[in-house]
Each structure stands twice: as C-alpha cells, then as structure tokens.
Amino acid sequence: MAGKKKEVSLQVSISNDEHWGEMLTTKGLTVVDVFQQWCGPCRAVVSLFRKVKNELGDDLLHFAIAEADSIEALEKYRGKCEPTFLFYAGGELVAVLRGANAPLLQKMIVEELAKEKKVLEQDIKRIAVEDDGLIDKEEVQEETEAHQHEEYEEALVPANKSYTMGIMKPDVVAHGKTDEIIMKIQDAGFEILAHEERTLSESEAQEFYQHKAAEPYFQELIRFMSSGPSHVLVISYPEGTDDVISAWQAFLGPADIEEAKREHPESLRAQYGTEDLFNALHGSRDSKEAGRELAFFFPNFGPPEPELAPVERTLALVRPDAARENRDEILARIHEAGFTVAMQKQVTLAEEQVRQFYGQHQDEENFQALLTNMTSGPVLALVLAKQGAVEHWRNLLGPKDPTQAKQEQPNCLRAQFTGESVYVNQLHGSESVEVAEQEISFFFPTECTLAVIKPDTSEELREEILVEVGAAGFTISEQKEMVFSREMAEEFYKQLTDKPFFNQLLDYMCRGPCTMLILSKENAVEEWRTMMGPADPSKAKETAPGSLRARFAKDILENIVHGSSSSQHAQEKIQLIFREISSESQVISTGNDDEPNPLEATESHPTSSEKPLDLPEQREGGNTGEQSPTSDLHAQTSDIVQES
C-alpha cells in the first residue's frame, strides 16, 4: 500500500525562487549550503549537520541546500566552487562561512542559534550582515582595489606614506563582519591602500607567526589562522601621518580581550574579539614588522591577476574513426588539459539523424564524406566542463580542415587524430556557450527515471542517499514510501518471471517499505545507473568504489537501490507506481520507438546549422541490471538488462 509522501528531513532542497522565498519565512535559524549544479553541495558536512541536529534537538534549527544557478538572489555565487554556508534568521542574513571548516562551522551554528533564540524570546534586535557575494557595492569595491593595484605596479605603498598591516582573522570573516569593520576603519580616518582575502595554509601560518613558535599556544594559533579566509589590509593615513602604526595599535586595542573590554571598550578587539586567540584582528607592532608582513602578503607589488573565466560546459564529439582507434588517448588529452567530463555516452547515428544535425551543410562539397563517416560507427559524445571551456576546447581542437591543422598546428587534436577521410576531421566542438547548451540538451536531454531505495535501509542511510541524490544534480520530482503487495511486485518485475531467483526477489521487495522516487536531470537514466554502480557489490567495489552499491549494498539481491535501464522502462514503471501522474505533464517522453522525437520537428538552432537529434543510445560498460543472488546465476546477467 502507498504511504504518504515524505520530505528530506535533514537538508531541504531549494531549487527555485519560490522555494527560496519560503525558506526566508521559516522560523528559527536556517543554515544554507550554496552550491553550483556542476559541482553539487558539500557532502562532507552532512554527518556534522546530523550530529549537531541530534545533539541540540532544536526545532528552530534547519538545514538546506540551495542551487545558485536557479535562484536569482544567489546570482553572484555562480561560477564559484568554494563551499559557502549562509546563516538566515527572520528572512535576514546573519552570518557567512566560506570553506568546509567543521569545528568553526559547528561553533557558528551553536552561537547563531543561541542569538536567534534571544531575539525570539527577549524581543531584542536581530543583527543582519551583508556578504560580498550578494551586494552590488562590493563590485565597486573590487574595481577600486584593482585600480589601486594598477596605480602601484612598481611600489604598492607610495614613498611619502607610512603604512602598517592589518589582518581580519577567520572568526570575524566567518561571522560576516568584514564590511562593518572596514567602515569603522575608514570612519576613523584610516586609508586602506590594499585589501585582499587570503586563506593561509598551515605552513604559511607557521612562517608568518614564526616569532611565536616558542609560545605554548602556537599550534592552536596555527590551526585557527589556517581554518578559513582572512582579510589582509595595507593601512595608512591620507595625510601620511608618521605614527600610523601606533594609531592603528590604539584603534585595535589590547590583545587581551578582557583588558580591551575593560579599559578600551570602543576598540575593535573589545567589540569583535571573543578570547585571546580569537581576538578578531592583527596589527604590525613596528615598521620592521610591517615591512616583513607587506613582503609576505604582497611580494610582487604588482596588479592583481585577471579574474578567471566563468565555468562553462561545451559539447565534444569524437567521430567514429577516432572513437574506435584513439578513444583512450583523446580522453587522456582532455583530462591533461584540465577538463572535467561531466557526462558521456556513445550513440550510433542513422543517416537521417546526421542530415538533421548538419542540415545547413548538406550543400557543401564534402558533406557526403561527413555523412559516410558519421554513420560508420558509434560517436562518442562528451560534456566537458572548465573555466572558459568553449574557447579552450576549440583551441585544443585546432583548424577544422585536417590538412590545414597538420600544417599550422601539428600538436592540435585534429592534426594528431585523423580518420580515413582527408576531408573530415574527427572531433567536434560547440561554437559558443549558447550553442553548447543547445547541443548538450539534444544529446543529453532532460529526462526522468525511476529510483527505488529498497527495504531494510536504515532511516539514517536513506537520508544520506537522498542528500547525495540532490548533490549529484538530480531533482526529486515525486517521492513516496510504499510497501509492495505481492501482486504489485510481480508486475514490477514481470520481465524476471522465468528466473530461478524470482520468488526470492519478491520476498525481499515485499518485506518492508521502499522509497519511490522520480528523478529528473540531463541524461537521468544513465546518470542514476552510474551513481548506483554494478548490481553485484563485489564488482562495484572493484570498478566503481564510490558508487552507492559499492559502499552500502549487502549482496546482489539486497543491493540497496534500483534504477530503470532506459527511458521507456522508466515511463512504464513510473506509471505503475505513480498512477496519478500524467506522462505528458510530468514524465518527459522520448517518443515511441517507431516515431521521431518531437524535438526534431519543433526545435532548431537559431545560432547554429545543427539541429536536434533523436539518438538511439549504445550502452557503455557492463550491465547493472538485477542479477541472481547466487553465484551460479551470475552468467544470466545478460538476460535481465531491462531493469536494475
């Protein structure tokens, strides 16, 4: 029987502006892990969140993951891969942490939750912060800093100005106090000549604090200073005051926090420090130390490096001759060039499909040679990800004409990997970011697949799997728990009726609740099967050690998860399990086997000659279907590739 639908209890998945707005209205403290679709949320902190939640047991504490790519408010986090955690309370940002620093993250959760309870219970004012990932004025600040660096190419600090160094330590940066402190520094008459965010490694922190190596707290200091980003400042007075170092030290206050609060309550350390090591800010003690620290943080005295290009995706096609003869070499070159292969598949194209894809080239002299080559065997389709991927991939390919490529760029891919035809190069690359996304959608369309978390899976493990599903970029369109009746299980596994392990499989699937999921994503069927791994856990541990079955499955029968083997089977099983869902509105159909994909008739490339495809897939690698629970039945795997 079907149970009622269930939400992920630890981290709520936020994938659009509506969900973001709902999160902002949640009572209490919400810790949001902001992530990019291409790299996913920070999985390393899930166990920490669960531990904190269990220890505190507080209904006012909530956790969420938010995809920056699809939420307008998080636009300026796009293209950044550093783990970022935003703390929201009462619809306001109250703290920010960058980097997966578990001890500091736990400390901040406890502190911010306590603050929010005081706000709710004592009706005191909530203190909001601003983060440079969300506010436009930071763009102005970054441009100003870049301009300042350009002015000081030969000498960062003008000769007529005395200067000192300041460091805002990881604790105040993590609490989102950077902007507030900078405003106070400037209001006090100081001029900030340079400002840089810097995360120290342990060796860098040891070098910087080598003069404190004999102190008993040295190792704790090193761990703290390398625990997250700091902000490094070069500080002067506009009029070139000689004693800026003494003025800065007085503005900071005593290093001892209790003394600072007692004798200099207006000082920065009194306001922002919490204990001696966590005393918020550092300042040079004399001109010699200021010079050493300036050389440490700004050794080149030059302008900042240009901003990196945004992370992009591009489509790469390896045509049949090269896919057959040079596949591994080409993939090695791709990895050496720093690309990530986000998705891949092999497809065998019919003549009509090639004509559709290269429609505007049909009148060209060499089109027949291209047509013959493209239908001569499987084509390897790849989605490559990298900063500036489109341009980097096209540069790596070289000229389109193989002869020209050999003459002008003999080391490029098109020169080194040639096919039987002298007229057809063996690799394709998208012309632009826009064209790349269109081409990717045709080779790797958004589709749905059915996923099942099988019986006997603990609640904790079930929750962990759901978090990993979200981290892998899947959208959970529908979710419910149900216990299979015998009749339903027989229908679900009807293709295995004649197998000797059929009754044993039914007994297992009917003995407890399953979590039924409709997952949607580009290339969802293959992506989920890859995430599951081979059905035999022993094989999974050898060939896919990071897969779910390698890590969590007991044996071939009790292999923890199920996934459809094709879009057609996914549609059939989704209709069986989620009968109320219309295939037209919820399940993205790929069309009947005898009919072309509807996309072929409706979609076109406004900026490219290439048109969408209805691509029959050539499955790569071994089968991941359901197998016999006994070793003597392993050979029957090929008979049951329909489902896993």
What confidence score (pLDDT) does residue 139 get? 46
Burial of 493 (0-12, 13-18, 19+ CB in 10 A): buried
Rounded CA-CA distance 292/211 in Å is 12
What confidence score (pLDDT) does residue 528 get? 93
Q: How many CB atoms neighbour CB 92 within 10 A?
A: 12
Read off the amino acid at residue 326.
N
Strand partners, 64: 12, 32
Report, as an integer, the average pLDDT of 260-287: 86
Q: Residue 534: which residues within 8 A CB-CB, separation 6 or more?
A: 540, 543, 544, 547, 549, 622, 623, 624
Average pLDDT across the chain, whole number: 79
The token pair that represents 135 in the structure block: 């506010």
Q: CA of 237: how far to CAs of 190, 242, 303, 420, 537, in Å?
A: 5, 9, 22, 71, 67
Rounded CA-CA distance 40/518 in Å is 19
Among residues 37, 95, 41, which one has the least CA distance to residue 65? 41
Rounded CA-CA distance 267/509 in Å is 66
The token pair that represents 537 in the structure block: 């856990």
pLDDT above 90: percentage of residues in the chain: 30
Residue 88 φ then ψ, to 5°: -115, 140
Q: CA of 193: how far to CAs of 38, 161, 501, in Å?
A: 37, 10, 74
Q: What dihedral do alpha carbons 334, 339, 344, 348 form, nearest 10°?
A: -40
Query: What does the angle CA 407 – CA 409 – CA 413 come to, to the nearest 5 degrees?
Result: 115
Q: How many CB atoms neighbour CB 346 within 10 A?
A: 18
Rounded CA-CA distance 95/30 in Å is 11
3-state class (DSSP) for residue 489: helix
Q: If you search the block for the tokens 């003999």, which residue do you land on?
A: 410
The answer on pLDDT for 622 being more than 70 is no
What confidence score (pLDDT) does residue 611 get? 33
Q: Greater confidence, 600 or 275? A: 275
What confidence score (pLDDT) does residue 547 get? 93
Q: If you search the block for the tokens 């005393």, which residue do you land on?
A: 279
Q: Greater confidence, 332 or 617? A: 332
Among residues 532, 522, 496, 528, which one has the least CA distance to residue 629? 496
Rounded CA-CA distance 38/385 in Å is 8
Rounded CA-CA distance 414/487 in Å is 57
Where in the sequence numbering do the catalytic residues fall? 562
| pLDDT tens figures, 4-45 | 444 446 888 888 888 899 899 999 999 999 887 766 777 768
The token pair that represents 576 in the structure block: 């069986």
Among the ranges given (136-145, 353-362, 427-436), the one the predictor scored with the smallest mean pLDDT: 136-145
| pLDDT tens figures, 131-150 | 755 544 444 444 444 444 44
The answer on pLDDT for 581 being more than 80 is no
What confidence score (pLDDT) does residue 29 get? 94
| pLDDT tens figures, 67-85 | 888 888 888 887 766 788 9
What confidence score (pLDDT) does residue 450 get? 94
The token pair that represents 121 in the structure block: 């219970």
pLDDT above 70: percentage of residues in the chain: 80
Q: Residue 464: which residues within 8 A CB-CB, separation 6 or more?
A: 46
Report, as an integer, the average pLDDT of 305-319: 79
The answer on pLDDT for 396 being more than 50 is yes
Rounded CA-CA distance 201/372 in Å is 56
What confidence score (pLDDT) does residue 132 get? 57
Q: How many Cα neighbours within 13 Å face the side chain of 490?
A: 5
Domains of the chain: 12-122 (3.40.30.10), 163-297 (3.30.70.141), 313-443 (3.30.70.141), 446-578 (3.30.70.141)
Strand order in the sheet with 164-168: 191-198, 230-236, 164-168, 281-283
Burial of 77 (0-12, 13-18, 19+ CB in 10 A): buried
Residues in the chain: 644
What confidence score (pLDDT) does residue 585 get? 33
The answer on pLDDT for 603 being more than 60 is no
